[in-house]
A and B are shown apart, each in its own frame.
Chain A
Amino acid sequence: MAVVHRSVLPIRSQEDIVRVRQATRESAVAQGFSLVDQTKIVTAASELARNTLDYGGGGEVEITRLSDPPRRGVRLVFTDKGPGIADVGQALADGFTSGRGLGLGLGGARRLSNEFSIESRVGEGTQVTIARWR
């Protein structure tokens, strides 16, 4: 599996969430994703970027374009140094929210992705990785 392109964007403000959506779209288009696949990964990126800002107190996302012939993919890694999630299983359940959202963020992002993983340590931070392939 080869890395075609990699970039890192900060997530410190609401405008940054918009930038993450745009950068994710750009990568999905560059990888030849269909419009539906583009929309799914951009929407997942938006949910996770908002989580990083609202719950993680800000952080960053690494956007990587991958080549694994014949597959091409986009991987997003969201990292924050926030309070962490005590019960990841609960956080993944639809309808669970500790803030102003609908509680669809994590579970929704998982459904919109082909690969999903989350690592969180209380007091240290959270890292969420998703990937979508064509």
Chain B
Amino acid sequence: MEKIPILKMGRFLLVTIQVDMHDQLAMQLQENLTDRIVAVRARGVLIDISSLEVVDSFIGRMISNIAAMARVLDAETVVVGIQPAVAITLVELGLSLEGVRTALDVDRGMAMLQQQLAGQR
């Protein structure tokens, strides 16, 4: 059974989506991630989708859901690496990923999460 790995980096979780996910795999990631947030008391989640060549409304909704669930569990979510062609298509599709913070790459995403955490102290 395929599974998307979730790495722990300090107080953050890092997910790199590298496969063309079928819907069930996306749903499973949502569940696994929320479980892990609670298990390790993560304060931030960074999702790298730079390898994703397509983000349709289902995957878009999954990303929004993860961000919303993480927020309820006191963790911030940043999505990084959206390809330009994917961004153009998302907007035309009518998806704006509202409530989801984005950054261009992993470094900037990490900096964003760290700033957020420092600001709360």
Contacts and interface: CB of A to CB of B under 8 A. Distances in A.
B29 to A, nearest CB: 14
Given A35-B85, A39-B86, A17 B93 contact: no
Chain B, interface size category, equals: 20 to 34
Contacts, number: 70
A1 interface: no
Interface residues of A, number: 26
A18 B52 CA distance: 13
A102 B54 contact: no
Contact of B92 (A25, A42, A105, A112): A112
Contacts of A38: 85
Interface in B82-103: 83-86, 88-89, 92-95
B92 A40 contact: yes
B89 A36 contact: yes
B93 A104 contact: yes
- Closest 3 CB pairs between A and B? A39-B85, A14-B22, A108-B93
Interface of B: 20-24, 53-58, 60-61, 83-86, 88-89, 92-95
13 contacts: A14-B23, A22-B20, A36-B88, A39-B54, A40-B89, A40-B92, A42-B54, A43-B55, A50-B23, A101-B57, A104-B94, A108-B93, A112-B93
